Structure 1
Amino acid sequence: MGKKRIVIAGLGDAGLLSAIQLNKNFDVIGISPKPCLVSGQELGPRLARPKDWEENYLIDYDRFKGLKGVDIRHAKVSGIMARENKISLIGYDGLPDTLAYDVLVISSGTQNGFWRNGHFENSDDIQRNLTEKSEAILSATRIAIIGGGPTAVSVASNVKEMRPESEVHLFFSQEMPLPTYHPRTRRKVEKFLQKQEVVLHPLHRADVPADLDVEAFSSDPISWSTGQPPFKADVTLWAIGKLSPNNEFIPADMLAEDGFVRADDFLRVPGYENVFTVGDIAKTDDNRSSARNAGHLVLAHNVKSFLEGRDEKLKSFKPPRYRWGSILGFQKKGLSIFTPNGERVGISPWWVKNLLFPVFVWRLIYQGLEKRK
């Protein structure tokens, strides 16, 4: 008998890492509407320093050594026929297809703006979008960023670092940004933004336009349900957590009320013993923490245990209380990692360039990366 087949619906960060782990023992097919990894991480560096961001977050699938032998389809899943252990898909060329699986992994992620979408794209589309958005925000004199999460904070900090002469305004609804992080992390990042002279506007809740296009910048005056006077900027970026799960192809009984995929402690979809989920689509907790925190390792272990008939070996995924990790990304003075208990670990630029990415990230986590052709 041949190897068991695993189909992975979605090859963003979590899906790709899962594919690398499972490729050692199984026949893996990965499905993505993109021709390469387009990471949803680090929007701030992506807008402020797109060429630097590309080096580490926009990577052709054929450069990953751990994906050698994986059948990668430039396609979108259009349906799941779980009783038949099959999925239907539509290729980039518009042609339909059907695939059988022994295990299905749903890692289709979310859409929350121009930096994360479920559209079909080719390499030219991706590059054009990257360049246009970066040029638009870096050419602005007065910039408004709406949102208090890590995406909004990262954009505010990185754009201000690259354009210190520009006014960068960050609006958020609570007293401090980063509500899902440890209080110490929140205070430290707030002080850093103030030192950069990012203008902070706490307790501002925006009236979200009914026709808001989260895939575009806007320039209309911003009004506030909290009573402050309207604010006008050259460019406004809405990073308000208005995300939606990529779930169009997923049966309703696999979904929680908010549209994310239901997940038990073992990252398995309840009621479907051979369907697993990981990443931002997986409703493991309010922060959907399996997108980080080595969720792919738990997923790979559990899929392998299931296919080997050893359910007693399944491991639980344990979400942390607070989000943690990089918030601002790699900046001129290096990289800051914030721990689950709110401590900051600073890594100098030399160590980031010569050890963190080439050794820890690409060699250890991603198991090897070919040089650009």
Structure 2
Amino acid sequence: MGTTVAIIGGGYGGAALAKALDPDFEVVLIDPKDSFEHAVAALRGLVSAPWAERMYYGFDRLLTRGRFVRGRAASVDEDGVTLADGSRIEADFTVLASGSSYPYPAKSGVDDTAEALLRQADTRDQLALAQRVLLIGGGPVGLEFAGEIAEQWPDKRVTVLDSAEDILGGQFLPGLRTALREQLDALGVQLVLGSPLIELPPTEPGRYAPFSAFTEAGDLLAADIWFRCHGVRPNSVALAGALAGAARPDGFVEVDDRLRIRGSARVFAIGDITALPEPKRSKAATDHAVVAAANIRALAAGRPADTAHRPGPAAIIVPLGSTGGASQVPGPDGPVVLDAAATAQYKGGDLLTGRYQELFSAGVPTAS
């Protein structure tokens, strides 16, 4: 029998790692969802039914040698994974790739594809009724969502609220924020910055129910529907035995520069669950998968794990609909800002769906 690698979580990092190791290892991919959810396309999927259908890829189309186990990991130790139903998967190497949760609709929050599509359709109907939309959070999710709504429904009045003095946050160039603000203004999106609401709206997020609310600065905001666009949380899995000390109180997991969980030689963590000081985005997770794959291959062959992960410079791609947006990427002499056309080419046009069609060996993705 070959070397077994158990991967907990089939998100961006877990799916990429499973695909990379599948030809040479006995890969067991564990996830409570029935399909891979391409969250990068979630906001466009919320405003467009055809795009919602392009968000989901069956795990049965990912692996050739390995197998997919639908279940929720309850605990991890040096020798494998115990699932919530009590079943046990023994493994030579284990990778924690359980990702993070984020307020709906940036992530579906449910495990069944059919249920997720129904939820999106219901919210889409609610949003279609609204003329005034409030998005709480001026980071990349709030801005992207504003762009998607404005492109789909140009007559809606969209307001983005954030307690910060400027949009986006993070170590980004002023030119990036300027480009985004100018485009948002041209789309008719209002920015209300520098003061939070006194209290959250009295209505449920994502439901048509007109309301008014005051900011602490005294501004009165009236809207028909609102969404929360901030608040990432790790999807924690209990670490047992010698691994227990690597879990922080906030749920993130400490790793070394080889992405091994602190105190372990054979258990790794990748993606959003890691306590690394870098953005929790799909690119970081797939970069982690490359490092973990190299180190698992080395250890399985009796060599040292000698591939280190080095967080890259601050970079971000922020589409505003299918043709707008701006980006900051590394350049030969430091970071540079890309315009709307380049942003659409890199991400906004197809929201990376082509990449995941290839990963899942799917000509046309399905929702099964």
TM class, shorter-length: 0.7 to 0.9
Q: Which residue of 1 aligns with 2:53?
A: 54
Alignment check: 8 A CA contact 1:89 1:96 kept: yes
Distance in 1 between residues matched to 2:208 and 2:246, nearest whole Å? 34
1:222 to 213, 217, 223: 213
Q: Which residue of 2 aligns with 1:280?
A: 272
- Matches for 1:317-336 after TM superposition, within 5 Å: 317-325=309-317, 327-328=318-319, 331=322, 333=323
Over the aligned positions, Cα root-mean-square deviation in angstroms equals: 3.2
Distance in 1 between residues matched to 2:336 and 2:181, nearest whole Å? 13
CA 1:246/1:117 → structure 2, altered by over 3 Å: closer, same or farther? farther
Q: Which residue of 1 aligns with 2:35?
A: 36
CA 1:247/1:255 → structure 2, altered by over 3 Å: closer, same or farther? same
Alignment check: 8 A CA contact 1:63 1:370 kept: no
Alignment check: 8 A CA contact 1:80 1:88 kept: yes
**Deviation at residue 216 of structure 1 after TM alignment:** 7.2
Alignment check: 8 A CA contact 2:206 2:227 kept: no
- Matches for 1:142-221 after TM superposition, within 5 Å: 142-180=132-170, 182-183=172-173, 184-207=175-198, 209=200, 220-221=211-212
Distance in 1 between residues matched to 2:228 and 2:353, nearest whole Å? 33
**Deviation at residue 81 of structure 1 after TM alignment:** 3.2
Alignment check: 8 A CA contact 2:25 2:66 kept: no
Q: When the two structures are superposed, what TM-score results if normalisation uses the length of structure 2?
A: 0.85
Q: When the two structures are superposed, what TM-score results if normalisation uses the length of structure 1?
A: 0.84
Distance in 1 between residues matched to 2:224 and 2:144, nearest whole Å? 19
1:276 partner SS:
strand
CA offsets 1:118-137 (integer angstroms, 9 cap, x no match): 96622321211221222222
1:165 partner SS:
coil
Distance in 2 between residues matched to 1:63 and 1:370, nearest whole Å? 11
Q: Which residue of 1 aligns with 2:293?
A: 300
Distance in 1 between residues matched to 2:208 and 2:222, nearest whole Å? 13
Distance in 2 between residues matched to 1:44 and 1:200, nearest whole Å? 19
Distance in 2 between residues matched to 1:352 and 1:210, nearest whole Å? 33
CA 1:224/1:348 → structure 2, altered by over 3 Å: closer, same or farther? closer
2:284 is equivalent to residue 291 of structure 1: yes
CA offsets 1:339-372 (integer angstroms, 9 cap, x no match): 2424216359799899995866644xx2732445
1:154 partner SS:
helix
Alignment check: 8 A CA contact 2:261 2:268 kept: yes
Alignment check: 8 A CA contact 1:218 1:237 kept: no
CA 1:152/1:118 → structure 2, altered by over 3 Å: closer, same or farther? closer
5+ residue gaps in structure 1? none
Count residues in correspondence: 356
Alignment check: 8 A CA contact 2:43 2:105 kept: no
Alignment check: 8 A CA contact 1:29 1:70 kept: yes
Alignment check: 8 A CA contact 1:104 1:275 kept: yes
CA 1:335/1:220 → structure 2, altered by over 3 Å: closer, same or farther? closer
Distance in 2 between residues matched to 1:164 and 1:25, nearest whole Å? 51
Distance in 1 between residues matched to 2:138 and 2:228, nearest whole Å? 10
CA 1:304/1:259 → structure 2, altered by over 3 Å: closer, same or farther? same
2:82 partner SS:
strand
5+ residue gaps in structure 2? none
The residue type equivalent to 2:267 in the other structure is V
CA offsets 1:289-315 (integer angstroms, 9 cap, x no match): 66346222112112212222222x522
The residue type equivalent to 2:123 in the other structure is K
CA 1:151/1:249 → structure 2, altered by over 3 Å: closer, same or farther? same
Q: Which residue of 2 aligns with 1:343?
A: 337
**Deviation at residue 138 of structure 1 after TM alignment:** 2.9
Q: Which residue of 1 aligns with 2:234?
A: 245
Alignment check: 8 A CA contact 2:136 2:228 kept: yes
The residue type equivalent to 1:205 in the other structure is P
**Deviation at residue 248 of structure 1 after TM alignment:** 4.3
